[in-house]
Amino acid sequence: MIAAALDPPVAAAGPAVTTFWGVDCGSSEIKVAAVDRGGRVLLLRKQRTLFPLAGHVHRALAGGTGELSPLVDDERVPGAPVGGVPRLLPGQQIHATGYGRSHIEGIHGQLTEIKAHFLGVQHQLQLDRDYTIIDIGGQDAKVIRATPGRVDQFAINRKCAAGTGAYIEELAHRLEVPMQSLPGLAAGHDRELTLNSYCTVFSGQEVIKLLMHGERVENLIYALYRSVVKRVLEMTAISTDTLVFSGGVMNYHPILVPLFAERFGDIKTILAPNAQYCGAIGAAIHGLKEDEENGIHHHQQLRPV
Amino acid sequence: MMRDYFADLGAASRDPARKVAWCTSVGPAEILRALGFAVYFPENHGALLGATRMSSETIPVANAHGYSPEICSYLTSDVGACLKGVTPLTKAYGLEEAPRPDVLVYCTNQCKDVMHWFGWYARRWSVPLLGIHPPTHVAEVRPEHVADVVAQYRHLIVQLEAISGRKLDPAELERAVARSREATDLWEEVLNTGTARPSPLSFFDGAIYMGPIVVLRGTEIAVDYYRALLAEMQDRVAAATAAVPGERKRIYWEGMPVWGRLRHLSEVFQRNRAAVVASTYCNSWIFSDFDPRQPLPSMARAYTRIFINRDDACKEAYLLRLAGQFGIDGIVYHAARTCPNNTNSHYGMPERLRAQGLPGVVIDGDLNDLRCFSDEQSTTVIEAFVETL
């Protein structure tokens, strides 16, 4: 939890806030973004998701020595014990998203990853038409249909991990290939294979069987990427002519973008800037928007009738 | 009231002069009552196993005995509990075991799993297994459907008379149907108080309040209970007492409850100031067709006309009507892994209703098998859905 004594949530609402922090507690990494009142992204940073979660969120927020932070200086000692109770500096607000969002106490607000990714994408791209966000994370994949102003509909992968980062990790492990080598190896494929199974474990078995038959690793990795595309597009029909990609998996595996694009005839594909940070940026923007709305309400109340 | 009901069932199962009948939840309970049976409803036991989360221990036992994890988890919870020799009735009502049946009576108006479920007990205890098989998934209940079911009731009555050792008294059946009608009308009025803003009750309350309409319909006890409950709800409406303080959005729950996560889900909605003001599940025990002047045909109509036994066009018209009546902002469809028959999101219904202005979202889960349910994922889906409304 974050001790908010210096800057309690109620007092924080209003023009006094100078920096809005967004934390995206994902299954693999904690991402942090900070934006100023003008919506400019001041910093982005991340660390692995470790437990106890709250302590590691504080670490991610604190950053290293000399870095911008919402926390008071004495809490920002590198290697400081995890689990301390840092305090907020005046003028700072923190909003959280991601699966761990409800486990961080003392923050100013929280929102779902669906809304956070939408806000992060829309803030950065300022799109003026309906579009679809494909956000592939460590343990889930989301397809979000949005207008410039709001989330219209969404779908999340069902119970299994196929089509998510966990699926890619598992198969990389089976193939004994480091994650970062996957895109390069896939580029060396010389034929298209199909992995059929919904199930990560069964897909692993398919891969092993193909390996036993002497299949090239490059072709298997390419098949793995194509399988991710298939799993995600099974979730819901795409009804817009613009596809935007966000999330950590797209960040590390941009080869997926053309693989998605080739499944459609005439479609515009955009890899969101700071794809992995769209959730964190969106959380910060959510804070900024809420603060602006509260400010407007405040002024309206003061306006003479 | 429930303690008395179960105490009586326990007494009936020990008394050689009395007979116990097991009945499916939307089976012909009125006939059984009129013939003097003490009536036990295994689905209620299934819900108790789910709500107490004992099902997490009992389902795997049934799975290990050849009953698939893919079939009704009421069935697997209940059969597993019997194999394991445990029951939530012990702690709740002091019964050592579920009352032993003299006859098992099912109706496939809800699904065919009930036949397999009761069939397991029929083999285990060598007890007669009697079934009603109405026409299923009908667009409308036509006279020939009613005639078919009435004929099956008549055959059932002959078999039941042999087991109970007494002839059916038509006046007794009329009284049972009249009491069922009265209770179900009161239950409907209770549920309709949810049209008030703010709603005085939520689906999660209703899932508890509905016990007597399931296990005690056809009795005066259920009538008295719902009369008192209605008065309480009307008081709450008059005082604007909200089930969800600060109610902002009004949600319809489609499908089975997730019994082991009622509180969790209730809190998720509460936190998001979304009130689940109506549900197919609670409404499924409104039987407005009951007519004591024609007991058997009216029972045939009532039990064949239930939502679960209708085609998609009927279901969609019903959902749109209730959405209008209750001022619904959106539907949460529960895709219950082991209850495909009471899951309506698998054949495009959410998309069709969305196109008619009724947005919805699907959460994956199950009535009793918590292996199929994720707290985190369902929370995200519900919260994100409420955000979009």
CATH number at B66 reads 3.40.50.11890
Does the structure show a pLDDT above 60 at A76?
A: no
Whether B37 and B105 share a structural domain:
yes
ipTM rounded to 2 decimals: 0.84
Listed residue (B174, B171, B67, B72) closest to B124, CA to CA: B67
Q: Which domain holds residue B130?
A: 2-169
Given an 8 Å threshold on Cβ–Cβ distance, is B380 in contact with A156? yes
pLDDT tens, per residue, chain B with 389 residues:
999 999 999 999 999 999 999 999 999 999 999 999 999 999 999 999 999 999 999 999 999 999 999 999 999 999 999 999 999 999 999 999 999 999 999 999 999 999 999 999 999 999 999 999 999 999 999 999 999 999 999 999 999 999 999 999 999 999 999 999 999 999 999 999 999 999 999 999 999 999 999 999 989 999 999 999 999 999 999 999 999 999 999 999 999 999 999 999 999 999 999 999 999 999 999 999 999 999 999 999 999 999 999 999 999 999 999 999 999 999 999 999 999 999 999 999 999 999 999 999 999 999 999 999 999 899 999 999 999 99
In this structure, what is the dihedral angle of CA atoms B30, B35, B37, B39, given to the nearest 10 degrees? Answer: -10
Q: Which residue in A156, A157, A198 has the most chain B C-beta atoms within 10 A of its own C-beta, making it the best mutation to test that interface?
A: A156
The answer to whether the CB of B217 falls within 8 A of the CB of B184 is: yes
> A114 to chain B: nearest residue by CA?
B384
Helices (H), B193-274: 203-209, 211-215, 220-238, 262-271
| Cα of B264 to nearest chain A Cα, Å | 14
The answer to whether the CB of B380 falls within 8 A of the CB of B272 is: no
| Cα of B361 to nearest chain A Cα, Å | 8
| Cα of A213 to nearest chain B Cα, Å | 34
Q: Which range among A68-77, A167-176, A232-241, B90-99 shows the weakest confidence by mean pLDDT? A: A68-77
Q: Which residue among B144, B169, B194 closes a domain?
A: B169
Q: Rounded to the nearest 5°, which phi and psi values hold at B188?
A: -60, -40
Whether B106 and B194 share a structural domain:
no
Whether B362 and B383 share a structural domain:
yes
Whether B156 and B194 share a structural domain:
no
Interatomic CA distance for residues B380 and A268, integer angstroms: 28
**Longest Cα–Cα distance in chain B:** 61
Q: Could you tell me the residue ranges of all domains in chain A?
A: 9-116+277-302, 165-230
Whether B74 and B184 share a structural domain:
no
| Cα of B378 to nearest chain A Cα, Å | 10
Interatomic CA distance for residues B336 and A254, integer angstroms: 36
Interatomic CA distance for residues B334 and B256, integer angstroms: 7
Whether B223 and B147 share a structural domain:
no
Given an 8 Å threshold on Cβ–Cβ distance, is A151 in contact with B381? no
Shortest CB distance from A156 goes to which of B359, B377, B388?
B377
> A103 to chain B: nearest residue by CA?
B376
Whether B22 and B156 share a structural domain:
yes
Interatomic CA distance for residues B167 and B154, integer angstroms: 12
pLDDT at residue number A159: 65
Stretch A5-18: mean pLDDT: 54
Contacts of B354 in chain A (CB under 8 A): 153
Q: Which residue among B118, B146, B169 closes a domain?
A: B169
């060396």: which residue's tokens?
A188
Interatomic CA distance for residues B82 and B62, integer angstroms: 9
Tokens of B265: 């889900």
Q: Which residue among B123, B146, B169 closes a domain?
A: B169
The answer to whether the CB of B301 falls within 8 A of the CB of B335 is: no
Q: Which residue in A24, A25, A101, A112 has the most chain B C-beta atoms within 10 A of its own C-beta, making it the best mutation to test that interface?
A: A112
Q: How would you classify the pairing of strands A29-36 and A141-146? A: unpaired
Interatomic CA distance for residues B214 and A115, integer angstroms: 41
* Whether the domain at A9-116+277-302 and the domain at A165-230 fall into the same CATH topology: yes
> B375 to chain A: nearest residue by CA?
A99
Listed residue (B380, B378, B276) closest to B329, CA to CA: B276
Tokens of B105: 């009576």
Whether B99 and B141 share a structural domain:
yes
Whether B205 and B145 share a structural domain:
no
Q: Which range among A85-89, A230-234, B90-94, B351-355 shows the weakest confidence by mean pLDDT? A: A85-89
Task: Please name the CATH architecture into which domain A9-116+277-302 falls.
Answer: 2-Layer Sandwich (3.30)
Interatomic CA distance for residues B270 and B272, integer angstroms: 5
Given an 8 Å threshold on Cβ–Cβ distance, is B372 in contact with A153? no
Shortest CB distance from A115 goes to which of B379, B381, B387?
B387
Whether B180 and B162 share a structural domain:
no
Interatomic CA distance for residues A19 and A94, integer angstroms: 9
Q: Does B144 touch chain A (CB under 8 A)?
A: no
Domain A165-230 top-level CATH class? alpha beta
Given an 8 Å threshold on Cβ–Cβ distance, is B380 in contact with A113? yes
The total of structural domains in chain B comes to 2
Give per-residue pLDDT as tens, A255-279.
Answer: 999 999 999 988 999 999 999 999 9
Whether B224 and B249 share a structural domain:
yes
Interatomic CA distance for residues A232 and A167, integer angstroms: 12
| Cα of A151 to nearest chain B Cα, Å | 6
Phi/psi region, residue A143 (left: phi>0; alpha: psi -120 to 50; beta: rest), is: beta
CA B30 to the chain's CA centroid: 16
Whether B163 and B84 share a structural domain:
yes
